[in-house]
Amino acid sequence: MAAAALMSLGGCIAINVNEADEAINFSPAPSALLGSWDVSLNHDPDSAPSKTEFIVTDVTAGTFKGRFYGSEVQNGRYTIKGDELIFAGRTSDQSGTYWHSGRIKAHALIQGQTLSDGRNFLMTWTAKRK
């Protein structure tokens, strides 16, 4: 079994694991996705990223609700695999459907991508919690 010692240090938690012991895995809770996120969209490698917001208002039994780029997320789904929460959903506007997906580890940073059928692009993005 892993030998781990937890100690509180000024509001931080330190985890000590003997290198010979097995790794300690942490699984994110579904609530890791909840809240408002500042999104940096990388649509053109020669331009500065554009900004938008991703808001998740509810997570329930493998589904989530929210808004991305000002549009309601439809058919939002998530799953937890190891130390990552993986999610996907779609939005739409006058140009067509956008398919979004992303991954989050330990409540920190989302790494995502968006595919646009109508505008014919695949774009990467990152998001930080507000």
**Burial of residue 105, with CB atoms counted within 10 A of its CB: 0-12 exposed, 13-18 middle, 19 or more buried:** middle
Backbone angles phi and psi of 93, in degrees to 5? -145, -165
Inside any domain, residue 99: yes
> What is the distance between the alpha carbons of residues 20 and 16, in angstroms, rounded to a whole number?
12
Global pTM? Answer: 0.76
In a domain, 51, yes or no: yes
* 18 is a domain residue: no
Residue 97 located in a structural domain: yes
Domain assignment present for residue 2? The answer is no
Query: For residue 36, is it within any domain?
Result: yes
Whether the pLDDT of residue 45 is over 80: the answer is no
Structure confidence at residue 23 (pLDDT): 53
pLDDT at 2 over 50: no
Query: Looking at residue 35, which CATH number applies to its domain?
Result: 2.40.128.120
Residue 61 lies in a domain: yes
What is the C-alpha to C-alpha distance for residues 21 and 23, in angstroms, rounded to an integer?
Answer: 7
33 φ, ψ (degrees, to nearest 5): -85, -25
Average pLDDT, the chain: 83
Domain count, the chain: 1
Please choose, from the candidates 42, 40, 36, 26, the residue with its C-alpha nearest in 3D space to the C-alpha of residue 85: 26
The boundaries of the domain holding residue 103 are 28-129
Mean pLDDT within 12-26: 46
